[in-house]
């Protein structure tokens, strides 16, 4: 199971709570995909930018799509640019993938808030172990889940992140904070920030 799949399973599990925002989850999923691509050596992170590297064989269709969209011309994308571009509507994409992979294919919440499920998943995507408890899985999964307000991560967990993981998690936190500020601004009737794309 990829980091992004694990995060999607955690988000869909019962007890996630009402705090989960699809836009936050989309940004965290984009960060999880970037962590997965670094792990596969499909990209390198250098000076805050996402550099193309190898072209590994990727079985997961959504992650393959992410790898196919890597910017391959200088000056390349920053991590922040990756999150905003790749993250657009990404939660809905993972929701559809999870629905296709679950054993019962049961329908769940609205398309606007697709990860607010009334009951837990009964099966995980094929090829990996399901993550049914908050805190299971690698430290970076817990850190990204905390960024999306699915769970909490301890200082010890954050200290276990490698430099690339820490850079991605930090960028996800910044993007989610920026998105929250825009939500607040919109709730007050103000114009959105120009740096936040539509679709969040």
Token pair recorded at residue 112: 């606007």
DSSP code, position 199: T
> Residue 93 in contact with residue 62, Cβ under 8 Å?
yes
CA distance 177 to 163: 21
Mean of the per-residue pLDDT values for the chain?
81
pLDDT at 55 over 80: yes
Neighbours of 102 (CB within 10 A): 17
pLDDT at 69 over 70: yes
Higher pLDDT, 48 or 188: 48
pTM confidence score: 0.81
pLDDT score for 191? 56
Bridge partners (DSSP) of residue 49 are 46, 78
Quote the percentage of the chain above a pLDDT of 70: 75
pLDDT score for 185? 81
CA distance 200 to 196: 8
State pLDDT tens for residues 99-118: 888 744 444 444 444 454 43
């Amino acid at each position: 199971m990829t980091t992004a799949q694990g995060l999607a399973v955690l988000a869909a599990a019962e007890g996630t709570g009402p705090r989960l925002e699809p836009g936050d989850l989309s940004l965290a999923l984009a960060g999880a995909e970037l962590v997965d691509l670094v792990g596969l050596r499909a990209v390198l992170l250098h000076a805050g930018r996402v550099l193309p590297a190898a072209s590994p064989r990727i079985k997961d269709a959504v992650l393959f799509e992410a790898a196919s969209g890597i910017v391959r011309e200088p000056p390349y994308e920053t991590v922040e640019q990756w999150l905003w571009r790749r993250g657009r509507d990404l939660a809905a994409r993972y929701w559809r993938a999870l629905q296709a992979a679950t054993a019962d294919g049961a329908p769940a919440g609205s398309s606007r808030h697709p990860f607010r499920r009334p009951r837990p998943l009964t099966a995980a995507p094929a090829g990996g172990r399901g993550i049914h408890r908050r805190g299971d899985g690698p430290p970076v999964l817990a850190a990204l889940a905390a960024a999306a307000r699915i769970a909490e991560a301890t200082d010890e967990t954050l200290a276990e992140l490698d430099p690339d993981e820490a850079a991605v998690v930090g960028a996800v936190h910044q993007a989610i904070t920026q998105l929250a500020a825009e939500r607040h601004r919109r709730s007050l009737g103000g114009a959105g920030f120009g740096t936040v794309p539509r679709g969040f």
